[in-house]
Structure 1
Amino acid sequence: MFKTIPFAKGVNLHIRQTTQFKTVNFSFKWRSPLTAESASERTVLTNVLQHSNAKYTTTAAYRSFLDDLFGTVLYFDTSKRGNEHTVLMNVETVNDQYLANSNVLNEVLDLLHIAIFEPNLENGVFKESIVSREKQMVIQRIESIFDDKSRFAQQRLQQILRPNEPASISANGTVEEIGKITPTSLFAAYESMLTNDKIDIYVAGDVNEDEIVAKLKQVLPFKDRTPEEIPAVLPQQHPKDDYVREQHETKQGKLHIGFSTPVRFGDADFAKMQIFNGVFGGYPHAKLFMNVREKESLAYYASSSYASHYGLIFVVSGIEAKNEEKALSLIKEQLAVIQAGDISDLELEQTKAMLTNQLKEALDSARGQIEIYDQYKDLPEEFTVEAWVNKWKAVTKEDVIEMAKQVQLEAVYFLSGKEQAAQ
């Protein structure tokens, strides 16, 4: 799917030459171990790098230049996957082939160098005023989760399930750690990212491979590095409290449940566990939706998700507080009926079709192709759509029963309104 070319030690370039798109897409991924401190520093850093640099010292000037490049999009962000934290820089620009007398791609390549290697500094570190402003912006982003009770409840469940582990650490970091950041410490984090992080660079579009590699080597002076090893699995804690109730100002109760499974991303049974999750609660035809929401009308919504890098399955539902026990019992029952073999051929086939369609839809965009390949590239076998569709097709009812029997309830979190709790 992508051709991988060593760029420097610890830095890999992945190119997909394709006529499928009229744009050229770049994606940079800097990876390091995930901690609350590093996530906080790196998220503030992405905000600082996003809005200005040494050449375009104001947000307005930067945006204006991007607009002049036929609406080129360039943005920084952070994410997490398993035990690693990733700083992203994504760029999408028009392909010169569709423009008359234009050299946009070369200008964008030069801009990559400026965006990464020429930050907006003062006395050798980031500007105090910019750092202070962007710290507040990130703090506001973190605190905004309190107003979204579904996201808040999910965050609390993860903190209860795996306290102080990557599974419960936000990719944005914490308010406490952000408060400690100074212009000097942020510049040190920036230098460490450029010097020490494992880096993957993606290019997708109708480009001349030799020319783009030569130009990227010219504008991206990444040096050899030996990135810190990021373990795929860390020692697991288990929750001290397996049932936590809290009250906020909210009209709708949030019942969030955490299950564990020994099956993780890349394991031999990974495809089977994906099918189990789809039958359990991953889609509108699944048991949670059809029985808890539709048949019994106990939930405004009810679904499950599989956090495969952590070996966790989450069930989320919005309910009336008075239905807490009944809803929890019915959710547990859906797992029990799968364990007992109550799985229809239709549920199985619909789940396989949904997984297949999701994968194919993701590959309709350059960004989707990059993200899918980036996720699957480290598995032993080469990624192809056909290979994964065949893995899902091969999953039997007996396989799903086997997966269900390995799923263990670990913790329940229920958030209700204060008035509801009083009643």
Structure 2
Amino acid sequence: MEIFEINGIETVLIKTDKFKTITFFITYLGEYNKEVATAKTLLSMLLSGSTKNYQTKKAILNKLFSLYDAAISVHNFPIYKTNVQLFALNIINPKFVQNENLLTESIEFLKEFIFNPNIDNEGFTENEFNEKKRILRDNINSIYNNKGLYAFRRLMQEMGKDEIISVNPMGTLEDLEKITRSDIYDEYQKMINDEQIKIYVIGDIEKESIIENLKDFTFKKNGFDLQTVSYERKTIEKTNEVFETQNVNQAKLMMGFRTNVNALDDLYVPMTVFNMMFGGMGSSDLFRVVREENSLAYTVSSSVFFDTCIMVVSAGIDSKDYELTTDLIIKQLEKYKQGHVDENLMVIAKENLISNINQTVDDPYANLNFVLKNNLLNNLTAEQLVEAIKNVTKEDIIKASQKIELDTIYCLKGEANG
């Protein structure tokens, strides 16, 4: 990994001949909160749909085809209180097609999506704005029908009423209906003029070539203070239990825990291994005890979020088994806290994690996405992370588990089950 600057903009290069492609990520990093979530999502959709010179999907696809089936995408996601607006370009390495102009032409096309949006005197063009607004409205409404996602969002709302975790990254219908074309153009101007930029590149390409092709981009170096990990600590006096009833065949159980460990904590890697052992793989404790031994869940797993210091256990259950299931999950966590760690399972968890990392670095897009997120969170490379995983001890797992506190339980029950 090599880090250098282009016009004052931090650029990360992963130089490798492992891939036949070159992938570029240009990211704009800005503030993420409830007030901007809807606008950020809609802006991302508008920027990906058309440009001033390529106003239809067909025109964009034809251009990409002429660039040897290049791919360009625009999307956004939050990392704690930072919004990441990502412009991605993936092209065949020009040396494989004997086209010296391919890199320059492809980057010029990427520039279209960033600096030449499809706008008129009132903002983004009306037809495109209305169409993307309709799609986003449908996407937000569809959460209700995806009961797993709905239950997760409801858990986050109940668990962190005044916290960033309660914000739906897609935004809200209420905010969407109020947004105008000029509002979104103002949001675009803020992105271009005020947000921090980072560039990531992976492939068999020289640093000098990247600088030469990106030096004319009108990047502005801005000092936005990135907040990518939480240092907040919440005192939990009593576990909050929330029940909701809908017409569902299978109850959705969501248990929200505070890990009190972020990506910069010494227990970051041990917590990663713990989560894999606890509920992160098919041979995990929760899968074995809750599903296989006691037949209490159709599905059960745990996930950990290091930007917000949250762990979520999700399960599909019969409503009548709510008490038994939650008690069993809590008891499994208590066993870890009391020092009961299956060292054979720990070995399997480590092997799974290392295998996942190796699969990630074997795909250029996934690799660069991994580098981007780790660069924003803790700067650990894949090699450093693998080595740290290997060095995790039983005692580290116990310490990590002892940091975890149950905050909120949310259960979406079926009407017939009461």
> TM-score w.r.t. structure 2 length?
0.95
Query: What SS does the corresponding residue of 1:155 show, helix, strand or coil?
Result: helix
Other-structure match for 1:163: 161
| Mapping of residues 2-401 of structure 1, within 5 Å | 3-9=2-8, 11-101=9-99, 103-123=101-121, 125-218=123-216, 220-230=217-227, 232-233=229-230, 235=232, 242-377=240-375, 383-401=380-398
The one-letter code sitting in structure 1 at the alignment partner of 2:79 is: R
The answer on whether the counterparts of 1:85 and 1:171 sit within 8 Å (CA) in structure 2 is: no
Other-structure match for 2:410: 413
Q: Distance in 2 between matches of 1:344 and 1:226?
A: 47
Q: Distance in 2 between matches of 1:4 and 1:390?
A: 22
Structure 1 residues 37-66: Cα deviation after superposition (integer angstroms, max 9, x where no partner): 212111111111111111112222122211
The answer on whether the counterparts of 1:162 and 1:236 sit within 8 Å (CA) in structure 2 is: no
Give how far 1:102 is off.
Answer: 5.9
User: 1:122/1:247 Cα in 2 relative to 1: closer, same or farther (>3 Å)?
Assistant: same
Higher mean alpha-carbon deviation, 204-213 vs 314-323, is at: 204-213
Q: Distance in 2 between matches of 1:198 and 1:396?
A: 38
The one-letter code sitting in structure 2 at the alignment partner of 1:345 is: E
The one-letter code sitting in structure 1 at the alignment partner of 2:380 is: F
Structure 1 residues 267-310: Cα deviation after superposition (integer angstroms, max 9, x where no partner): 11111111221221111111100000111111011111111111
Q: Distance in 2 between matches of 1:368 and 1:375?
A: 11
Q: Distance in 1 between matches of 2:336 and 2:234?
A: 27
> TM-score w.r.t. structure 1 length?
0.93
Structure 2 residue corresponding to 1:404, chosen from 394, 401, 404: 401
Give how far 1:378 is off.
Answer: 5.1
The answer on whether the counterparts of 1:78 and 1:172 sit within 8 Å (CA) in structure 2 is: no
Structure 1 residues 375-416: Cα deviation after superposition (integer angstroms, max 9, x where no partner): 223567x63434322322222222222222221111100001
Consecutive unaligned residues of structure 1, counting only runs of 5 or more, are none
Q: Distance in 2 between matches of 1:131 and 1:93?
A: 29
Q: Percent identity?
A: 28
Q: Distance in 1 between matches of 2:164 and 2:389?
A: 29
Higher mean alpha-carbon deviation, 328-337 vs 382-391, is at: 382-391
The answer on whether the counterparts of 1:263 and 1:269 sit within 8 Å (CA) in structure 2 is: yes
User: 1:182/1:228 Cα in 2 relative to 1: closer, same or farther (>3 Å)?
Assistant: farther
Give how far 1:233 is off.
Answer: 2.7
Structure 1 residues 66-94: Cα deviation after superposition (integer angstroms, max 9, x where no partner): 12222111111111112211111111111
User: 1:388/1:295 Cα in 2 relative to 1: closer, same or farther (>3 Å)?
Assistant: same
Give how far 1:237 is off.
Answer: 6.1
